[in-house]
Amino acid sequence: MKKTAFLFPGQGSHSVGMGFDFYQEFVFVKELFEMVSEICKINIPDLCFKGPMEELTKTINLQPSVTAVNLACLTAVEKEGIIPAFLAGHSLGEYSALSAAGVISREDTFRLVYKRGELMHRESVKHKGAMHAIIGLPVEDIERIIAEVKNEGIVSVANHNTKTQIVITGEPEAVNKVSSLASAKGAKPVPLNVSGAWHSKLIKGAEDDFKKYLESITFNKPAIPVIHNVTADVSSDPSETRVLMGKQLCSPVKWFDSIKRLMDEEVEIFAEIGPGRVLAGLLNKILPKDYPHKTYTVNSLKSFENFIKEAK
């Protein structure tokens, strides 16, 4: 089998009904959803399968819900004996990658994403924020524009998704100003439907509390290398991984650099494990046409069966 990477989506990949066919098909998925519901004191099956979307989208509900679907899809793949060479996850998805690598237990994965969502929600209520995707300019240009408006409010890069798709985050007026200046340079700003300014200084108040909580969690050496959001690099030191996950909350997600790192490692099979196909869409924009690769999604029984058939 060619060198494979499993990629896990985060917030923004969700939809009402996600994971339902896996839940109906596999007893182990029902057991997983029961475990998450017990740990988080939330009815995860109801949220995932019935919504409503407004409730599912609340970060305190969304983080354990997306993670449950990620790990349900992953477990189905693992039971077929397919083991990747590398793992990575986009923002929230990084916790699924750490779980898949054995760095943190499944129970602790859900404890962490619930606490993360709780703290992020707390800060978003205190500090109104916004996020826009800016399409059509490289990150260097966006950073220059941000430097121009630094006296007008908090704004920074949240996600470096592709060469020319950058998500900015911060106070609404400052975010709008950057979007306006980027638009004047030919870019297309797209406001995102989020409840807070994730990966920004506006949620810095959550960082210290989350770092303390991380200290209560056991981190192990990864059985499979994980490409981290903060560094676009791997770490085999559990203490360093804990520090990186503390920083991840307010640091930019280096997704473009993470995929380039996987290219450097000559990964040819990319499988998005979890709801939606956001990461598959980004891969299509990042990977050069002449780079040998295949992209799969595992977000339904049909796509799961297709991936298993081709991967074996």
Catalytic residues: 91, 199
How long is the chain?
312
Tell me the CA end-to-end span of the chain in Å, nearest whole number.
7
Q: How far are the Cα atoms of 20, 29, 37, 88, 252 from residue 50, in angstroms, in the given order? A: 10, 17, 15, 29, 32
Angle at 37 between CA 36 and CA 43, to 5 degrees: 140
Name beta bridge partners: 86. 5
Distance CA 39, CA 273 (A): 23
Q: Is 184 exposed, middle or buried (0-12, 13-18, 19+ CB in 10 A)?
A: exposed
Token look-up 């609404």 returns 172
Cβ contacts of 207 within 8 Å, gap of 6 or more: 246, 249, 250
